[in-house]
Amino acid sequence: MSSQLISLVNTDRIIGKHVFGNLYDIDPKILNDKDFLHNLVLEAVKIANMKLVEIKSWNFGGKKGGVSVIALVEESHIALHTWTEYNYATLDVYTCGENSNPQAAFEYIVSQLKPKRYQMFYADRSSE
């Protein structure tokens, strides 16, 4: 009986896991440190058990300025955006494959940014 049940599950599909959230009340010095944030995402790629394709980071000036770091991993992404004057950041860790662990990567970045409050959500990005 159990083998019949297992045979009904489609294992030949794309497994996509997307953990994302909003991080409030972060030390603004951290949020403007492009190198620190770049390396944070790089480390998170390893923790999520993903293969890095390319990573890039940008600095934005002005009142609503901050840093963006985007990593393309096979075949999904990690995106961190920060707004220094608002002590605010958003984080998306979207990974593919059974063995990927986006939540561990999300929690690692949170542990380093130390927001006073944050929200975390999950979206299933798998094919049928």
Q: What are phi and psi of 26, to 5 degrees?
A: -105, 145
Out of 27, 43, 75, 107, the only residue in the binding site for a copy of itself (CB under 8 A) is: 75
Out of 2, 29, 54, 98, the only residue in the binding site for a copy of itself (CB under 8 A) is: 54
Comparing CB distances to a copy of itself, the nearer of 99 and 121 is 121
Q: Say how far apart CA 124 and CA 48 lie, in whole Å.
A: 16
Comparing CB distances to a copy of itself, the nearer of 44 and 96 is 96
Quote the DSSP letter at residue 89.
Answer: E
Q: Answer yes or no: are the C-beta atoms of 124 and 16 closer than 8 Å.
A: yes
Which segments within 84-116 are labelled E, that is strand? 88-96
Candidates 1-9, 39-47, 54-62, 102-110: pick the segment binding a copy of itself (CB under 8 A): 54-62
Give 72's strand partners.
54, 77
Contact call for residue 36 and a copy of itself (CB under 8 A) = no
Q: Answer yes or no: are the C-beta atoms of 116 and 24 closer than 8 Å.
A: yes
Residues that bind a copy of itself (CB under 8 A): 13-14, 16, 18, 20, 22, 24, 53-54, 56, 58, 60, 64-66, 68, 70, 72, 74-77, 79, 81, 83, 86, 88, 90, 92, 94, 96, 121, 123-128
